[in-house]
Amino acid sequence: MAAASDPVELGAPGGPARPEPPPTRFHSVHGANIRVDPSGTRATRVESFAHGVCFSREPLAPGQVFLVEIEEKELGWCGHLRLGLTALDPASLAAVPEFSLPDLVSLGHTWVFAITRHHNRVPREGRPEAEALAPSCPPALLVEPHLCIEQFRIPRDRLVGRSRPGLYSHLLDQLYELNMLPPTARRSRLGVLFCPRPDGTADMHIVINGEDMGPSARGLPAAQPLYAVVDVFASTKSVRLVQCRPCRPCAAS
């Protein structure tokens, strides 16, 4: 069996066989202002700036990326998409809170962040606080074919936003690939996943256009079902799910 610190694949040879996770979909439980399309892959806030909290239909598997692309923006509001995980079963909620921050988080067992390249990174115990600084990856690293996050290796091609075909699309695509656009720009792709640790806990990671923002929360209960949380808040009006290929095994170093 692969150790928790070794790169693994969902159901990789040499490890415990796991069925491939089902395609990601939005849960039927969501905020009052959200409309989910019949396919379950697009969530749109139809009025106001709040009541836009959404959940994944199924708990995530370890290393599975719940990936959304920002489809529509709405001018006139202050604030952007929020993303995270919860150990609360959406179906058990008496009512979906108006906001993910602070309302849903205050219910406990929930970890949500506003999307920014400067959100909290949590250093490990005994490590210098410099570890908590936002990562600064050389541009060359952002065009590598795979993104390695702790023990998982994830194909990068689906993680990076794409512009709509047009005269300047080749220039815009390069800006997405180098992650030089604002993280909540239209067509940006944002993902969340968790990585189990040997002590039975998990780290939560947020990915922005193929760049790992580092562990934003530690100590999540890895043995409990963890659902993705997407708050379609304020200037973010609509998001769609992007299916991300399962993790692949890393070559031994």
Task: Please identify every stretch of the chain with a pLDDT value under 50, giving residue numbers as ranges.
Answer: 1-15, 129-130, 134, 136, 138-141, 166-171, 252-253
Determine the structural domain holding residue 75 and report its residue range. 26-120+144-249
Q: What is the pLDDT of residues 6-58, one digit of tens each?
A: 444 444 434 455 567 889 999 999 999 999 999 999 999 999 999 999 999 99
pTM here?
0.82
Q: Return the CATH number at 62.
A: 2.60.120.920
- Report the number of distinct structural domains present in the chain: 1
Q: What is the pLDDT of residue 20?
A: 76
Task: Tell me if 129 is assigned to some domain.
Answer: no
18 within some domain: no
In a domain, 127, yes or no: no
Query: Is 125 among the domain residues?
Result: no
> Hey, how many other C-beta atoms are within 10 angstroms of the C-beta on 201?
15
Q: What pLDDT score does 167 carry?
A: 44
Tell me, yes or no, whether 178 lies in a domain. Answer: yes
Q: Is residue 16 part of a domain?
A: no
On whether residue 139 sits in a domain, the answer given is no
Domain assignment present for 138: no
Encode the chain in three state secondary structure.
CCCCCCCECCCCCCCCCCCCCCCCCECCCCCCCEEECCCCCEEEECCCCCCCEEEECCCCCCCCCEEEEEEEECCCCCCCCEEEEECCCHHHCCCCCCCHHHHHHHHCCEEEEECCCCCCCCCCCCCCHHHHCCCCCCHHHHHCCEEEECCEEEECHHHCCCCCCCCCHHHHHHHHHCCCCCCCCCCCEEEEEEEECCCCEEEEEEEECCEEEEEEEEEEECCCCCEEEEECCCCEEEEEEECCCCCECCCCC
Task: Please state whether beta strands 82-86 and 110-114 pair in parallel, antiparallel, or not at all (unpaired).
Answer: antiparallel
